[in-house]
Amino acid sequence: MLAPARLTSVRLLAGPAPVAAVVVVAAVAAAVLGSLRGGLTDLHVYQAAGRAVLDGQPATAPRDPVTGLAFTYPPFAALVMVPLALVPWWLAALVWTGASTAALAAAVVLVRRTAGRPAPGWLVAAVTAGAVALEPVWQNLAFGQVNALVMVAVLLDLLRPDRRGSGVLLGVVAGVKLTPLVFVVLLVMVGRRATARRALVTFASTVAAGFLVGPGWAASYWVDGLVDAGRIGPPALAHNQSVYGALTRLLDGRPGLLVWLAVAVPLAVGILVVARGWWRRGDLLLATCLTALAGLVASPVSWSHHWVWAVPVALVAWERSRWAAVAWLAVFVGRPMLWLPWGQRREYAWNPGEQVVGNAYLLVGLAFCAWAAVTLVRRTAYAVGESARGRVRFRMPHRGRTL
């Protein structure tokens, strides 16, 4: 038998203690960084937006006094940020980073359990800590971004669609950041209309809340700012790993609306069709990851930290091919687009080979989707063949042989 002390240590490793340690370390590091007033750029902007709401001003004006940046999210998102404005900066940094790290750990647990795999505390802690090596993850933490929190909310609703109230979380995070609306499209495509309806009603409520707080500001956002891809930064920047960003760099200027849509829409729709196929085969996890990639491909701006979905995709790939998972991780650890000259419009000078390297996230994401499509077709063809052979055996037993 194990000694009591030894038994206790085993339980701690199997339980939540290792995960809590990772969360606390990340949170304390952020609090120290916050006390020095350095880093966590986007968290500064979030906190300033919360203050603007409390002061009865539009969150986009004035700009954050620390970074000089404007708040570019929907008006409802500024309401969500109000609690950040009520606490000191260092405490906001601690809580926000701790919550983001905990969300990343929760995502690992959800993915493992959905895949039918155990999720002991030591493994979740190790994967969460190791995930920080991925550029999208440490960019999320370094900027104080919201993406990890959005991702875990989406996973909760999509991987547990029969849960009471499923769709509400999706609607809330869509009100904070519009890109999760792509998951509503998937829900409609797979016949989960009640969940999709709850998500849309919740999202509409967030839009209404924004108009109640600031009608003029909300109208300006939804009418003028929504379609302006440049309002949140230069789309040619290497960190923008979307079709729109790739086209901007390739064409030496922003593509026309029709050109962008002609490329992005067929790709996104094709990926969603593949996601629907996997969902109907019972693989909700792969379908959800594919839908996330469809959103990243189609969005006008998909900054590298938006690609935090690299973590669940890596876990999905690991279950199917270790080599594919290692190759996937290598891209997001190596961040190839930053090996090239970037910033200050230098992306326009990339040659064809550099265009391939400079769009690494986008291309590896499309490669993963292509693999999923080919595998789905093969499995569907195999299932049809097996079904046909089964029918032949059933109908012609008298021939003394089966075909």
Tell me: cis bond preceding 62? Omega within 30 of 0 counts.
Answer: yes
- Identify any residues that bridge with 303 across adjacent strands, giving them in sequence order: 240
- Distance, in Å, from the CA atom of 125 to the CA atom of 222, rounded to the nearest integer, reads 41
Residue 228 main-chain phi, psi, to 5 deg: -90, 100
pLDDT score of 39: 77
With CA atoms as reference, report the closest residue to 333 among 310, 352, 313: 310
Q: How far does the chain reach from its first CA to its final CA, in angstroms?
A: 58
Cα Rg, the chain, nearest whole Å: 23
- Distance, in Å, from the CA atom of 296 to the CA atom of 268, rounded to the nearest integer, reads 9
Residue for token digits 């080919």?
A: 374
What contacts 2, CB < 8 A, 6 or more positions away?
A: 10
pLDDT score of 220: 80
pLDDT score of 33: 67
Residue-by-residue pLDDT tens, the chain, 403 positions: 434 433 333 333 345 778 777 777 777 777 776 666 557 889 999 999 999 888 888 766 667 777 778 888 998 999 999 999 999 988 898 889 999 999 999 999 999 999 999 989 889 989 999 999 999 999 999 899 999 999 999 999 999 888 888 999 999 999 999 999 999 999 999 999 999 999 999 999 999 998 888 787 787 888 766 656 556 678 999 999 999 999 999 999 999 999 999 999 999 999 999 999 999 999 999 999 999 999 999 999 999 999 999 999 999 999 999 999 999 999 999 999 999 999 989 999 999 999 999 999 999 999 999 999 999 998 887 666 666 666 544 443 433 333 3
Domain ranges of the chain: 15-216+231-399
pLDDT score of 389: 64
Q: From the CB of residue 217, how many other CB atoms can be counted at a distance below 10 Å? A: 21
- Distance, in Å, from the CA atom of 231 to the CA atom of 222, rounded to the nearest integer, reads 13
Rounded to 10 deg, the angle between the 310-320 and 322-334 helix axes is 160
How many helical (H) and strand (E) elements, i.e. helices and strands, does the chain have?
20, 0
pLDDT score of 134: 96
pLDDT score of 1: 40
